Amino acid sequence: MAAPRVCVFPSARELGPALSSFVLAEAARAVSQRGRFAVAVSGGSLVSLLAAELPEAAAREPEHPGANWSRWVLGFCDERLVPFESPDSTCGLYRKQLLSKISIPNNYVIAINPTLSVEEAADKYAERLRELFPGDNLPVFDLLILGIGPDGHTCSLFPDHPLLQEQSKIVAPISDSPKPPPKRITMTLPLLNAARCALFVVTGEGKAAVLKVRSCF
């Protein structure tokens, strides 16, 4: 396993272009080696950051091999069980802000069905992942773009929550999220740990303390 790298930027102005360049480079590598780029994203401030910078980065290099959107598979590291029209819907926000600007095929955007129960939504999402990663014991994403909350959570895996012990499911429901809305689905640690690359994008003073603690391990 490669040693983790930490890059610090003065502000989001410098972070955004660097993030987009990294994502496109990873996409180009994956397409070259495996014919497609499987990436899963998180919500929060990442949505506007990627939506502002990724299309612009691709426009600056229209022939960039990583900008071959037809070779992308886009998933979500976690999702809130709300309608896509809700401002709490990660998929809904990406559809409005990013997917309206780039042409990833709709059948390669892996979204939950928010009309199902949280347990059924998690099962269907896991089923869809397995369909898109046939033959793999665990779906292996080329890149996960993750955030960290002020309490140290990532995805919808919260400190001291029983889901941190989940080993059999690749996607799990959560009905008692400490952060609203309470009903969500989330990738579990076995799926996160199987990814080829995990990138944590952390901004804001409120997360500095927890990031410092986590970086010591």
Q: Which residues contact 109 (CB under 8 A, 6 or more apart)?
A: 74, 91, 99
Average pLDDT, the chain: 91
The predicted pLDDT at position 104 comes to 96
Q: Which of 126, 93, 198, 118 is nearest to 155 (CA)?
A: 198
3 within some domain: no
The predicted pLDDT at position 217 comes to 34
Give the span between the Cα atoms of 86 and 25, in whole angstroms: 32
171 within some domain: yes
7 within some domain: no
The predicted pLDDT at position 216 comes to 36
The predicted pLDDT at position 208 comes to 66
Q: Kindly report, residue by residue over 178-191, the tens digit of the pLDDT.
A: 999 999 999 999 99
Q: Token pair 């579990």 is at which residue?
A: 188
CB atoms within 10 A of CB 88: 15
- Side-chain half-sphere CA neighbours of 34 within 13 A: 14
**Residue type at 50 in one-letter notation:** L
39 within some domain: yes
Q: Between helices 90-97 and 45-60, what is the axis angle to 10°? A: 30
CATH value at residue 195: 3.40.50.1360
- Is 0.85 topped by the overall pTM? yes
Collapsing DSSP states into helix, strand and coil, what is residue 91?
Answer: helix
Collapsing DSSP states into helix, strand and coil, what is residue 184?
Answer: strand
CB atoms within 10 A of CB 198: 17
Q: 73 is in which domain, residue-wise?
A: 12-214
Strand partners, 199: 145
1 within some domain: no
196 within some domain: yes
Q: Token pair 């969500």 is at which residue?
A: 184
The DSSP annotation for 21-88 comes to HHHHHHHHHHHHHHSSEEEEE--THHHHHHHHHHHHHHHHSTT-GGG-GGGEEEEESEEESS-TTSTT
- Checking if the pLDDT of 6 tops 90, the result is no
Which tokens sit at 150?
Answer: 């002020």
- Checking if the pLDDT of 61 tops 60, the result is yes
Give the span between the Cα atoms of 141 and 203, in whole angstroms: 24
The predicted pLDDT at position 13 comes to 83
* Residue with the larger pLDDT of the pair 141 and 60: 141
Q: Kindly report, residue by residue over 16-54, the tens digit of the pLDDT.
A: 899 999 999 999 999 999 999 999 999 988 999 999 999
What's the structural domain count of the chain?
Answer: 1
The predicted pLDDT at position 135 comes to 84
Give the span between the Cα atoms of 170 and 23, in whole angstroms: 24
Q: Token pair 């069905």 is at which residue?
A: 113
Q: Kindly report, residue by residue over 120-136, the tens digit of the pLDDT.
A: 999 999 999 999 999 88
6 within some domain: no
Cα 11-142-87 angle, rounded to 5 deg:
55
4 within some domain: no
